[in-house]
Amino acid sequence: MAHDHTIPQRWEHYTAQDHAVWKTLFERQTALLPGLACAEFVEGMRHLPISAQGIPNFAELNDVLKPQTGWQVVAVPGLVPDEVFFEHLANRRFPSGNFIRGANQLDYLQEPDVFHDVFGHVPMLMHPVMADFIQMYGEAGLRAQRIGKLTELARVYWYTVEFGLVKEVVNGAQALRIYGAGIASSFTESVYAVQSASPHRIGFELERVMRTNYRIDDFQESYFVLDSLDDLLGLARIDFAPVYERLNHGPSYQPGDVLPTDTVLHRGSGAYHCAHTAVSA
């Protein structure tokens, strides 16, 4: 492993079972996402060498991705330290696990694998706005780490790049669509995030998001919705110093909180998490 935690992908080492797992995941997600994912995700996927035939070769991905937005995918053995992650993003390198989940883990995985990282993230890296936003986020992450504000900044990444929704005009009417990789790569959460009555869907407001905790163990209780993907560049160019100063005081919020000041697009019933709490009790 290199000093930046990168390793060779070693595509030739994937087994037939590895490629079969990718095929299963790919086919069911691509059948599900039309009508749920945003147009930019669908367009990015269309132009990449990603298919059901097997786990993509990173070199082939980079041959398309790098000329388009300057990004490249680099292989890592798993989660990397924060400073390494931010350094990669700041230099337009997206770290992807080079392993794939087992056939018995199709619906849940604690550590992101090559399907989450490539299928979920790389199509959006073909879009110039997302490409610029994630690079700027990497630069902001390095600064936030130095001043002890990483927790607050991580919430921005979580509620945008991983679990973001965006408004999109479809047949003359406004609809909600997925752009976050954590949703786009999840068979069950793709439907839940857009169609379920259970979660809240709230207009994105930066400071509100930076005060809001999130769930890593289950579906989200709230999703924050952008008016447009172009809003991401506005977020990336913000001077975070006064925001961090305000965050030193005042409340923090739980994932299911709805505030009087929120722009509530859909007030969720909470039925999913209530049912799961009752079962676990």
What is the residue-level pLDDT of the chain in tens, covering all 281 positions?
888 999 999 999 999 999 999 999 999 999 999 999 999 999 999 999 999 999 999 999 999 999 999 999 999 998 899 999 999 999 999 999 999 999 888 887 778 999 999 999 999 999 999 999 999 999 999 999 999 999 999 999 999 999 999 999 988 889 999 999 999 999 999 999 999 999 999 999 999 999 999 998 889 999 999 999 999 988 888 889 999 999 999 999 999 999 999 999 999 999 989 887 655 54
Query: For residues 124 and 89, what is the distance between their CA atoms, to the nearest angstrom?
Result: 14
Query: For residues 72 and 149, what is the distance between their CA atoms, to the nearest angstrom?
Result: 27
- What pTM did the predictor assign? 0.94
CA neighbor of 196 nearest in space, from 215, 222, 172: 222
φ, ψ of residue 6 to 5 degrees: the values are: -80, 150
> Could you tell me how many helices (H) and strands (E) the chain has, helices first?
14, 7
Burial annotation 64-87 (CB, 10 A radius, 16+ → b, else e): ebeeebebbbbbbeeebeeebbbb
Structure tokens at 1: 């492993």
User: Can you point out the beta strands (E) in 11-114?
Assistant: 72-76, 93-97
Contact 262, 206 (CB under 8 A): no
**Residues linked to residue 54 through DSSP beta bridges, in sequence order:** 51
Which residues are catalytic, by number? 116, 121, 162, 185
Q: Residue 277 has what pLDDT?
A: 67
Query: For residues 95 and 105, what is the distance between their CA atoms, to the nearest angstrom?
Result: 21
Q: What sign has the CA pseudo-torsion 164, 166, 171, 173?
A: positive
Q: Which residue has the tokens 């090559």?
A: 114
Domains of the chain (ranges, CATH numbers): 11-280 (1.10.800.10)
